[in-house]
């Protein structure tokens, strides 16, 4: 195995990775940086629990290998808002979205990129953006409502 | 028994180097010195009160006897612990696991309300797994409120009375003149007041209020019970700081990923670990012996790769070359098994319930209708794959894991490693979904075994593939129902045969069919007024680990019976909702211990006096959904349809009207659902609503897309790619939940929503398309439905 030395920014801080370049970003975040808000759910981009932002775009950290991240800027749920008070985080709490809560970091991170490019999403927009995320507790109706509430609040 | 042994929170403080504090998850901020605070409190100050079925006791330095209680004298199983510290902080120990049902909010709501505590000063602390200290902690069977509401209330009311007595004593006034109010006690005539915390020193020394003096609040006095309260874990859950199973880290911790036998009962023949050992970060390869069949809660065995990090462990596991001996279940094949179950229900079985003479009544009926239904194996597929961290050394084990039943984890680890159960400590993290999977501690045993072998803390991480392929699956089930209707269309005979492997087959050998009590999950305890009724158990052998999954057998009972009632209505040309109401018959309360069952129904652990089968409650929820859903309104266009069903399970009554839209390609969407719930008193209505929303969506997965199948003894599916679950696009736009207002004894909330949803979805599909799906999942069966009419799929 070739070892890599990769420099990237995570939640605004410069981080260095020296290890298996094929390691997915998920395990770097969880095992090396102890950023546990990003969750392992499926490992194959099917559930969305590990969604983070890479250079502002939603990315499944379980499939994004470290070797592709030189110079990248990664934002995790811990870095979404300095006080945890992004309009989506507030709306999630106002509407009491989470049940077990495990998938919600990924859901919020995905929804944040949706609102960033589309401040007034329709139901169809929400379906398209959020369909890659699984919530086994079944919080989808409240996620939908919270995205709309956050959009409203951001106006 | 020493206090130290009995109360694990009195163990040496500050010695556990956990990176994230899992033993305390307070409402606002985590206190840094939880254990020291508690030690200080129990030894030097503060007030600690515990409530059990036997009453409420104070546990403190002056009454150490309470802590060193002789367990031989009487069953001392306190379920609620409340701690009031001198600074006024109220800590409530949650003895149940949080998996999305909201118990970490609801339990403190009830106690703090009765206590008249200041909610902003309340925190919840997750209790360790400890029996008998907490009694049953098995968070299963929708029991957390229904089994404990009176105890929670008594705990709060006792502390309130004690603090009122303390204030009365300090002021030398009659107790009748003082009143606890939002964290203070007020002397009503003068208006002077004292904070709860300041009353602790007196409250520690005066006599406890007599049980007959306790006054539980009237509904009008309640501040929070029965009202909407924000969940206490909302901030951590929305900021990524909530602690789940894989979020606990110990210094020197290793991560293990395990290759398990692909066939149930299989063993390792040979293993070549040359390549695995070459993976950087892989440290050790350890064989885990296969447990004796059928295995129960014990590990399946296999080969573990222990590594520095998760990725290395996964890569190492992939690099193992293992030849397995597959054993007796190597020919398990779902296609053949479905035929076996079908054949089984076509022959008489063993009676589970008999009333009247069903054969005679069928023979004399004006019309006979029969149908067969099938539901496959299902997996919990909770978002968090099972995971456990264990640190075993010097004959002691400490566990951190998302377990539903910490006591079973504790006992099973102790048995597995031959440790004294007192030396096994189980810390419960938040559960990223449970649905029954996490009450089986096989994965905890794996971690404990590997930690002992490795001489280091080990986290066992199951991959999604592991979770799906080595779970405890929901039974595959076949049902055959036949009814006889008289000339007026009234049902006079009901003959129900079912075949599905029993959960007990996972725990005992030679089990060849469902247990009679499994039928009382909504099959032999149906609320219908039918004079001739026979419910039979037909043979079915387990070839994989069977376990309970949210709502358990009520899932396929609800689907089959809910569908069959609709089929009977339609073949009689009747409105399904009216027909359902007629089947319920006159309002009556039924005691099923004397209703022709071969074995009295366990009634979910409740007495029949407390929780009779009450058909008036069933009727009311049905009437509510008829009214609120627009059932009697204009008909929907083709491609859309409404279905109705009602099911009693876990002591609650739930009716649903589900509206579906079936797209030309067969995709089923749910634009709207109307739900009515009578669960007796509901302490936390918003969480009850959220459980109904979730139950409906889980039922959508169960009915529409989920299926675990076997070929050559192995699970075919591997991940969410081929194990389909409901996603946002299909999710309901509107779930209109109506909670019946009641002060009655509480029933369950977590599970009872699933069974009626299964029937209602299937019936709505028929209403929309004219296609009756009797074999689940629906999958692609509706593709091109517009070109077909009135085709029964799965009909004999």
Least confident residue range of B144-153, B661-670, B787-796:
B787-796
Residues in B closer than 8 angstroms to A77, CB to CB, are: 239-240
Minimal Cβ distance to B433: which of A93, A96, A100: A100
* Mean pLDDT in residue range B742-756: 97
Residue A108 in tokens: 């919020």
Flag if A98 and B238 touch (Cβ within 8 Å): yes
Bridge pairing between strands B668-678 and B387-393: unpaired
pLDDT at B47: 87
pLDDT at B130: 73
Q: Start-end ranges of CATH 3.10.20.30 in chain A?
A: 4-79
Flag if A20 and B312 touch (Cβ within 8 Å): yes
Q: Cα–Cα distance between B413 and B406 in angstroms, integer?
A: 10
pLDDT class for B302, splitting at 50, 70, 90? very high
Task: Assess contact for B511 and B504: CB atoms under 8 A.
Answer: yes
pTM for the whole structure: 0.93
B3-225 topology per CATH: Aldehyde Oxidoreductase; domain 4 (3.30.365)
B278 to chain A: nearest residue by CA?
A1
Q: Cα–Cα distance between B269 and B261 in angstroms, integer?
A: 10
Task: Assess contact for A42 and A128: CB atoms under 8 A.
Answer: no
Mind listing the pLDDT tens digit for each residue in B516-546? 889 999 999 999 999 999 999 999 999 999 9
pLDDT class for B13, splitting at 50, 70, 90? very low
pLDDT at B594: 77
Angle at the Cα of B704 (from B699 to B708), degrees rounded to 5?
Answer: 90
As for the ipTM of the complex, it is 0.98
Task: Assess contact for A130 and A49: CB atoms under 8 A.
Answer: no
* Residue in B279, B383, B438 to test binding to A, most A beta-carbons within 10 Å: B383
Minimal Cβ distance to B280: which of A20, A102, A132: A20
What are the residues whose beta carbons fall under 8 Å from the beta carbon of A63, sequence distance 6 or more? A24, A44, A45
A49 to chain B: nearest residue by CA?
B383
Q: Which CATH architecture has domain A87-153?
A: Orthogonal Bundle (1.10)
Q: Tell me chain A's radius of gyration from C-alpha atoms.
A: 15
Q: Cα–Cα distance between A138 and B100 in angstroms, integer?
A: 10
Mind listing the pLDDT tens digit for each residue in B628-663? 999 999 999 999 999 999 999 999 999 999 999 999
Q: How far B244 CA lies from chain A's nearest CA (Å)?
A: 8
Q: Does B2 score more than 60 pLDDT?
A: no
**H-assigned helices in B279-394:** 310-319, 334-345, 358-363
A24 to chain B: nearest residue by CA?
B311
Q: Cα–Cα distance between B83 and B85 in angstroms, integer?
A: 6
Q: Start-end ranges of CATH 1.10.150.120 in chain A?
A: 87-153
Q: Does B175 score more than 80 pLDDT?
A: yes
- Residues in chain A, pLDDT under 50: 1
Terminal Cα-to-Cα distance of chain B (whole angstroms): 63
Least confident residue range of A131-135, B133-137, B151-155, B401-405:
B133-137
Name the percent of chain B lying above pLDDT 70.
90
Minimal Cβ distance to A46: which of B382, B719, B729: B719
Q: Cα–Cα distance between B546 and B556 in angstroms, integer?
A: 14
Q: Start-end ranges of CATH 3.30.365.10 in chain B?
A: 3-225, 249-328+386-461, 334-378+473-793
Q: Cα–Cα distance between B20 and B414 in angstroms, integer?
A: 25
Which helix (H) or strand (E) is A25 found in, with range? helix A25-27
pLDDT class for B213, splitting at 50, 70, 90? confident
pLDDT at B60: 61
pLDDT class for B140, splitting at 50, 70, 90? confident
What are the residues whose beta carbons fall under 8 Å from the beta carbon of B417, sequence distance 6 or more? B392, B397, B445, B448, B449, B452
Least confident residue range of B4-8, B277-281, B344-348:
B4-8
Flag if B281 and A40 touch (Cβ within 8 Å): no
Q: How far B441 CA lies from chain A's nearest CA (Å)?
A: 19
pLDDT class for B132, splitting at 50, 70, 90? low
* Mean pLDDT in residue range B721-741: 97
Residue B553 in tokens: 């057998």
Q: How far A46 CA lies from chain B's nearest CA (Å)?
A: 6
Give the side-chain half-sphere CA count within 13 A for B653.
27
pLDDT at B46: 84
Mind listing the pLDDT tens digit for each residue in A108-122? 999 999 999 999 999
Flag if B694 and A31 touch (Cβ within 8 Å): no
Stronger pLDDT, B594 or B764, i.e. the higher one: B764
- In sequence order, what are the beta bridge partners of B613? B590
CATH superfamily of A4-79: Beta-grasp domain (3.10.20.30)
DSSP B161-204: HHHHHHHHHHHT--GGGEEEETTEEEETTT--EEETGGGHHHHT
pLDDT at B28: 32
Minimal Cβ distance to B383: which of A31, A43, A136: A136
Flag if A102 and B384 touch (Cβ within 8 Å): yes
* Mean pLDDT in residue range B25-49: 46
Mean confidence (pLDDT) of chain A: 97
Q: Cα–Cα distance between A124 and A121 in angstroms, integer?
A: 8
pLDDT at B790: 55
Establish if A33 touches chain B: CB-CB under 8 angstroms: no
Class of domain B334-378+473-793: alpha beta
Give the count of beta carbons closer than 10 Å to the beta carbon of residue A127. Answer: 18
pLDDT class for B791, splitting at 50, 70, 90? low
* Mean pLDDT in residue range B759-787: 97
Residue B415 in tokens: 């048995």
Bridge pairing between strands B532-538 and B491-499: parallel
Class of domain B249-328+386-461: alpha beta
Mind listing the pLDDT tens digit for each residue in B575-624? 999 999 999 999 999 888 878 898 888 899 999 999 999 999 999 999 99
pLDDT at B113: 97
Range B672-675 contact pairs with CB under 8 angstroms and sequence separation of 24 or more = B672/B629, B672/B732, B672/B733, B672/B734, B672/B735, B672/B736, B673/B732, B673/B734, B673/B735, B673/B736, B673/B757, B673/B760, B674/B625, B674/B628, B674/B629, B674/B736, B674/B738, B675/B625, B675/B735, B675/B736, B675/B737, B675/B738, B675/B753
Mind listing the pLDDT tens digit for each residue in B407-418? 999 999 999 999
What are the residues whose beta carbons fall under 8 Å from the beta carbon of A132, sequence distance 6 or more? A45, A46, A47, A48, A110, B727
- Dihedrals phi, psi of B457, to nearest 5 degrees: -65, 135
Distance of CA A28 to the CA centre of its chain: 15
DSSP B109-151: HHHHHHHT--GGGEEEEEPPB-TTTSS-----SS-TTTTTHHH
pLDDT class for B789, splitting at 50, 70, 90? low
Residues in A closer than 8 angstroms to B227, CB to CB, are: none
* Mean pLDDT in residue range B787-791: 69
Residue B166 in tokens: 């303390």
Flag if B725 and A84 touch (Cβ within 8 Å): no
Establish if A65 touches chain B: CB-CB under 8 angstroms: no
């Amino acid at each position: 195995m070739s070892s890599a030395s990769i420099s990237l920014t995570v939640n605004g801080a410069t981080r260095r990775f020296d290890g298996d370049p094929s390691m997915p970003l998920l395990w770097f975040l969880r095992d090396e940086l102890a950023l546990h808000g990003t969750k392992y759910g499926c490992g194959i981009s099917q559930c969305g629990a590990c969604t983070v932002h890479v250079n502002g775009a939603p990315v499944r950290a379980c499939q994004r290998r470290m070797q592709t991240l030189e110079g990248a800027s990664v934002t995790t749920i811990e870095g979404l808002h300095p006080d945890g008070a992004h309009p989506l985080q507030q709306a999630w709490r106002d509407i009491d979205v989470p049940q077990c809560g495990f998938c919600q970091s990924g859901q919020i991170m995905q929804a944040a990129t949706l609102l960033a490019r589309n401040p007034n999403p329709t139901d169809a927009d929400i379906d398209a953006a959020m369909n890659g995320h699984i919530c086994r507790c079944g919080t989808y109706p409240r996620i939908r409502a919270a995205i709309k509430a956050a959009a409203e609040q951001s106006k | 028994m020493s206090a130290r042994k009995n109360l694990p929170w009195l163990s040496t403080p500050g010695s556990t180097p956990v990176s994230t504090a899992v033993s305390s998850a307070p409402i606002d901020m985590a206190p840094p010195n939880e254990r020291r605070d508690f030690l200080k409190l129990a030894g030097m100050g503060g007030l600690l009160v515990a409530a059990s079925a036997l009453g409420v006791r104070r546990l403190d330095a002056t009454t150490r006897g309470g802590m060193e209680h002789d367990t031989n004298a009487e069953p001392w199983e306190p379920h609620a612990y409340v701690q009031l510290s001198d600074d006024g902080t109220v800590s409530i120990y949650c003895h149940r696991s949080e998996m999305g049902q909201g118990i970490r909010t609801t339990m403190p709501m009830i106690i703090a309300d009765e206590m008249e505590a200041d909610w902003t000063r309340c925190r919840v602390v997750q209790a360790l797994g400890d029996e008998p200290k907490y009694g049953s902690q098995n968070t299963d069977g929708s029991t957390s409120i229904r089994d404990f509401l009176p105890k929670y209330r008594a705990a709060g009311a006792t502390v309130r009375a004690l603090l009122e007595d303390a204030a009365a004593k300090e002021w030398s006034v009659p107790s009748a003149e003082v009143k606890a109010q939002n964290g203070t006690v007020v002397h009503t005539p003068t208006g002077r007041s004292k904070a709860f915390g300041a009353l602790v020193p007196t409250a520690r020394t005066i006599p406890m209020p007599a049980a007959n003096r306790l006054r539980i609040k009237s509904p009008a006095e309640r501040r929070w019970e029965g009202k909407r309260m924000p969940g206490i874990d909302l901030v951590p859950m929305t900021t990524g700081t909530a602690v789940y199973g894989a979020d606990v880290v110990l210094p020197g911790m290793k991560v293990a990923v395990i290759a398990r036998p692909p066939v149930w009962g299989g063993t390792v023949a040979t293993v070549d670990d040359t390549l695995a050992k070459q993976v950087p970060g892989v440290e050790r390869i350890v064989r885990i012996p296969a447990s004796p069949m059928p295995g129960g809660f014990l590990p399946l065995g296999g080969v573990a790769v222990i590594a520095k990090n998760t990725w290395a462990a996964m890569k190492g596991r992939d690099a193992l070359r293992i030849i397995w001996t597959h054993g007796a279940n190597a020919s398990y094949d779902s296609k053949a098994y479905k035929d076996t179950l079908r054949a089984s229900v076509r022959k008489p079985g063993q009676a589970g319930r008999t009333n009247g003479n069903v054969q005679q009544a069928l023979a004399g009926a004006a019309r006979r209708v029969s149908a067969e239904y099938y539901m496959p194996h299902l997996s919990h597929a909770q978002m968090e794959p099972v995971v456990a961290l264990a640190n075993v050394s010097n004959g002691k084990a400490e566990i951190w894991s998302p377990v539903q039943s910490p006591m079973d984890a504790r006992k099973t680890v102790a048995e597995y490693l031959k440790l004294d159960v007192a030396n096994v400590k189980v810390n419960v993290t938040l559960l990223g979904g449970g649905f029954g999977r996490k009450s089986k501690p096989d994965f905890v045993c794996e971690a404990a075994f590997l930690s002992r072998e490795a001489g280091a803390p080990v986290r066992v991480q199951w991959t999604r593939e592991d979770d799906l392929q080595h779970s405890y699956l929901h039974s595959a089930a076949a049902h055959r129902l036949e009814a006889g209707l008289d000339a007026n269309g009234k049902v006079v005979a009901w003959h129900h045969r079912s075949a599905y492997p029993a959960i007990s087959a996972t725990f005992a050998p030679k089990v060849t069919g469902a247990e009679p009590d499994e039928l009382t999950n909504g099959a032999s305890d149906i609320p219908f007024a039918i004079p001739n009724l026979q419910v039979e158990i037909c043979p079915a052998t387990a070839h994989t680990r069977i376990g309970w999954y949210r709502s358990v057998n009520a899932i396929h009972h609800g689907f089959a019976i809910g569908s069959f009632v609709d089929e009977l209505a339609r073949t009689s040309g009747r409105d399904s909702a009216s027909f359902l109401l007629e089947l319920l018959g006159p309002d009556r309360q039924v005691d099923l211990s004397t209703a022709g069952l071969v074995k009295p129904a366990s009634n979910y652990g409740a007495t029949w006096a407390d929780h009779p089968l009450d058909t008036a409650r069933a009727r009311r929820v049905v009437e509510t959904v008829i009214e609120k859903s627009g059932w009697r309104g204009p008909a929907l266009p083709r491609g859309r349809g409404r279905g109705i069903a009602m099911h009693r399970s876990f002591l609650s009554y739930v009716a649903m009207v589900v509206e579906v839209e079936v797209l030309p390609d067969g995709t089923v969407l749910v634009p709207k659902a109307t739900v009515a719930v009578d669960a007796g008193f509901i302490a936390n209505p918003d969480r009850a609503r959220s459980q109904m929303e979730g139950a409906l969506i889980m039922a959508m997965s169960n009915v529409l897309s989920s299926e675990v199948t076997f070929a050559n003894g192995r699970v075919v599916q591997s991940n969410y790619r081929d194990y389909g679950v409901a996603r946002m696009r299909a999710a309901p736009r509107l779930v209109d939940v109506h909670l019946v207002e009641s002060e009655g004894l509480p029933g369950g909330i977590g599970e009872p929503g699933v069974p009626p949803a299964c029937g209602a979805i299937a019936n709505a599909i028929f209403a929309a398309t004219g296609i009756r799906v009797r074999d689940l999942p629906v999958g692609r069966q509706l593709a091109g439905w517009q070109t077909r009419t009135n085709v029964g799929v799965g009909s004999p």
